[in-house]
Structure 1
Amino acid sequence: MNNKWNKFIYKIWSPFYDLFFNRGLFLSARKKVFAEIDLPEGSRVLFVGTGTGADIEFFDDRTLEITAIDYSSDMLQKARDKFRDSNVEFLQMDAQDLDFPHGSFDFIVCSLVLSVVPNPLACLQETHRVLRNGGTIFVFDKFSSNQKPSSISKKILRQVIRILGTDIGLDHTDLLGNMKDELSVEKDEPVMLKGMYRKIVLMKLK
């Protein structure tokens, strides 16, 4: 996957994305993972890879300072259309190269983005950079569900699905291990599909 391909494939996905990923099992999962979040008034919240804005509806833009970014202008327009009368600021931006100063946000949502960007570590490093010390990164995403070596058929399937704009083989333990001195894993819980989709809560140490 690369940025050019992702921009193309999510242009195709944009009219249909919510039909697949914001209803049924996925909508139930979103409701479940965001149910516990209770942020202080005035918190600065960033949605990284917001897509069509499916997660924003679980947050109150009247009491929070919400910024949402996405690389795909087509997906971002869907989000803008949904929240036309809100206080949410929408910006087109690369999640691997965020155009914000250090420590700009108190709480960052990375929902179904680490498995999409070409370089998930760069995305996580940038997310860490723009988060204040003691702030939280909230991850909801799909990851490799076991530590066993992948079979040839699974390796082929992974490459086919990558063409559709996502990676089903990302190992979250390896990814987070690269940031173990900067981020503390506060929660790591399975959400659905036998733990393939997980909720991970990270706190910035430094």
Structure 2
Amino acid sequence: MTYDIVDMATWPRADQFRFFRTYDRPHYAVTSRLNVSHLMNTRKGQGVSPYRACLFAIGTGLHSVPELLMRFRDDVVVLHKMTDLSMTVPTQSGSFNYAYVPYQEDFAKFDAQCKNIIDKAAQKTQLAANSGERDDVAYLSCLPWLDYTSINNAMPGPSDCIPRVSWGKFVKEADKNWRMAMTLEVHHALVDGAQVGDYFAAVQKALDQI
């Protein structure tokens, strides 16, 4: 893990961090609808996997917002240089395993690496869950069966500060555009609404440019 320790004496959110660290339920989730028309109308026909394209866009969004790369360990806050994307991977038995994909800024390189890692994870029999030994990850989960309006995640406790991202079914709406729901769940000690807004803007931009 490569990270910097955040200087609490100069960090503008130090007071907010200390305040929300006292909460029993410090997490909150925001769901927004994103436009995936470029992905579905153009890139899918060119052989691009919409699923892996979404993984890339999510990674781009996370790495565009420093607060989403921050984690705390007791009262020490760290800022990671990079984080892996950890997603659920369906298996042939009807269960799922976890995969861990390093983010890369180049989509073609990310896509090839991502496909290889996911294919291998689908063949494994062990869950490979992160038991807390690392925090340089973000947790991702796709629900392609549902065009949902809100969601939240099972959390082990108030000290879990790893972001969760979920996204749902692609739907062609009345205006002929394709859209999907996406949810970002974060710890309020590290992330405010402004940063959530920046994340969704960065994801939308990535989806439009893939």
Shorter-chain TM-score range:
0.3 to 0.5
TM-score (norm 2): 0.32
Structure whose alpha-carbon radius of gyration is higher? 2
Higher relative contact order (CA 8 A, sep 6+): 2
TM-score (norm 1): 0.32
